[in-house]
Structure 1
Amino acid sequence: MRVSSPRRHRPRLEIIPFIDVMFFLLATFMMVSLAMIKNAGVAVQLPKAQTSGSEERKENEVTLTVTDKGDVYFDHDKVSPSELPGRLAALKAGAGPEKAKVFLNSDRKATFDSVVGVLDEIRKQGITRIAIQTEKTEKAP
């Protein structure tokens, strides 16, 4: 007696679940990589601007922060006005004048005089790549 076996179908590779898994992994890696960006500045209330952008930190970059009390921070280290030129000169020497970049941020309530003083010191050291950090505002209707 002969038993007939059902027709065998070739196995199919379902691609839709594979695409779902790939998108999930892509989103996960993007979120993890965004969380790894190091914020080296001191927390201050940045001024707002509509043309504000975000930049990722790279090597040879520092953040100079001016607080509302006039204190200056080189990344997270508080520096005196006499220390600032030496720290900037070391940055320029280590990175080269074309690659050294300074992010300047200040509290909204910081005096214009103290911010311009820090900006002037950066320029005296020959560093020309300076970014002033702001927060993005909502556009008015």
Structure 2
Amino acid sequence: MNFRKGRIQEEPEINFIPLIDVLLVILIFLMVTTTYSRYAELQINLPQAEAEKPVDKPLELSIGVDANGRYVINDKQVAFSSPESFSVEMKKAAGNQKDPVVIINADAKATHQSVVNIMEAARFAGFGRITFATQSTGQ
């Protein structure tokens, strides 16, 4: 016999909030009680190697240009007529080194074109490693 005619049966519902609370308590408990291994406390004997420092230091070509447009290669003044002729002078200064480091020491008031001329001459000479020397302001 069905005495509850016309009444809709309610579906049972599961409340997840207490389940989440219990899982968080378990997670906190596991985090607090877990011990982590500390690698800093291990006694490690590292291997030792004895190697000589390289004695070959790459040749550095120091090229300077001042505000008046005078060029210097390794403290020797060189006249600049074109990037091609200047590249020949750079090759002479480099000697038998294939790719020396070109250090450009440009005056702060030197024209931008004079620095570009040095870079262009280095390109003609086949020197790809170029760096610029700077001076710190002392702050």
Q: Give matches, 1:20-99, under 5 Å.
A: 58=57, 60-82=59-81, 83-92=85-94, 94-97=96-99
Q: Give SS of 2:127's match.
A: coil
Q: Distance in 2 between matches of 1:59 and 1:101?
A: 7
Deviation for aligned residue 1:117: 0.9
Deviation for aligned residue 1:84: 2.1
Q: Which amino acid aligns with 2:71?
A: V
Q: Which amino acid aligns with 1:73?
A: V
RMSD: 2.0
Higher RCO (C-alpha under 8 Å, 6+ residues apart): 1
Q: Distance in 1 between matches of 2:71 and 2:58?
A: 21
2:130 counterpart of 1:130? yes
Q: Distance in 1 between matches of 2:93 and 2:58?
A: 10
- TM-score with structure 1 length normalisation? 0.50
Structure 2 spans left out of the alignment, 5+ residues: 1-56
* Matched length: 80
Task: Kindly indicate whether the alpha-carbon contact (under 8 Å) linking 1:105 and 1:134 is maintained by their aligned counterparts in 2.
Answer: yes
Task: Kindly indicate whether the alpha-carbon contact (under 8 Å) linking 2:88 and 2:125 is maintained by their aligned counterparts in 1.
Answer: no
Which structure is larger by alpha-carbon Rg, 1 or 2? Answer: 2
Q: Give SS of 1:95's match.
A: coil
Q: Which amino acid aligns with 1:89?
A: K
Equivalent position of 2:54 in the other structure: none
